[in-house]
Amino acid sequence: MKLINPLQKMCFFYSTINNYISYAVATVDQVLEPLYMQLTHTPENQRDNKLVKTKMEQFHIVATHLSQQLRDHQFICGDRFTAADCVIGYNIWWAGVIQGGELLNDYPVLQGYIERLRERTAFQETFKGVKPVKPSGGSL
C-alpha cells in the first residue's frame, strides 16, 4: 500500500497499533488462557487433551504470524515501541511462563522480542518482585 501524505501514514500507523491490541485481547488471550489453565493448573490425568491440542495448533498459527511481523522489526508495529508492544509483549511473556517457556522453543524471533522488552526499564519495574506461579497440578 502506497501512502501519499503524512496524515495517511499516521492514520495507518495508529490503526496498526489498534489492530494489534485488538488481536492480543480478542485472539491471543483466547489461545493462551486455556493453555495456561490446562498446562499449569490442571493435573495431567484431568486435562482436556483435545482442548490442549486445538489451542496448541492455534498458538502455532499466532506465533508464526507474530514472528513474521517481528522478523524485520524491533517491535510489533515497526522499530518504535508502542502501546501494542505492552499488550503483545505481555502475551509473549505469558507464553514464556507456560511449561517453562517450551511454547517459545521454536520461535527464536519471539524469544528475541521478549528479551528486547525485558531490557526496558519499564518492563523491569513492572515485573520487579513477581514470583513464578507455583503449579497447582500442571507443570510450570
- Reported as a single tens digit per residue, the pLDDT across 26-81 is 999 999 999 999 999 999 999 999 999 999 999 999 999 999 999 999 999 999 99
C-alpha cell at position 111: 524469544
Q: What is the reported pLDDT for 140?
A: 44
| Cβ burial 59-70 (10 Å sphere, 16+ → b, else e) | beebbeebbebb
Provide the CB-side half-sphere exposure for 91 (13 A, CA).
24
- Reported as a single tens digit per residue, the pLDDT across 119-135 is 999 998 988 887 766 66
Q: What is the reported pLDDT for 55?
A: 98
pTM value surpassing 0.75: yes
**Which residue type sits at 22?**
S
The DSSP-derived string for 31-65 is: HHHHHHHHHHHS-GGG--HHHHHHHHHHHHHHHHH
Sign of the Cα torsion 82, 5, 69, 15 reads: positive
